[in-house]
Amino acid sequence: MRFDTPKPISDSLQKYLDKFPHKKKLRQGMILSVWEEVVGKRIASQVTDIHFESGKLVIKVSNQVWRHEIHANRFSIAKRLNTKVKSQVVGDIIVRS
């Protein structure tokens, strides 16, 4: 009996994701699930709504100070989110209040 060499499950999952028809939606969901981990609880607690519109992550906050803070750091946040999911999902971040 012949056995193939063991392969990491991450390789199999990556192959599946590459063929998955709704890959974009899945990766956007991954971004939403890691949001608090990437930005921290303090910033995440200030966000009242978060969703995607045309490849842009739209964030709604209730406080103008937090809107400015997130807006000033939006490129850094987008880069960290994309790095976390290993894909270019967030093109830009729009912050609304």
The predicted-structure confidence for 49-95, as pLDDT tens digits, reads as follows: 999 998 899 999 989 999 999 999 999 999 999 999 988 999 999 99
> With 0-12 CB in 10 A as exposed, 13-18 as middle and 19+ as buried, what is 60?
middle
List the end-to-end C-alpha distance of the chain, in Å, as a whole number.
Answer: 64
pTM of the full structure: 0.78
24-96 CATH pick, 3.30.70, 3.90.1640, 3.30.300, 3.30.750 = 3.30.300
CA atoms within 13 A of residue 76's CA, in its CB half-sphere:
7
The CA distance from 52 to 5, in Å, is 41
**Degrees (nearest 5) of the Cα angle 18, 20, 37?**
75
Give the pLDDT confidence score for residue 60 in this predicted structure.
Answer: 97
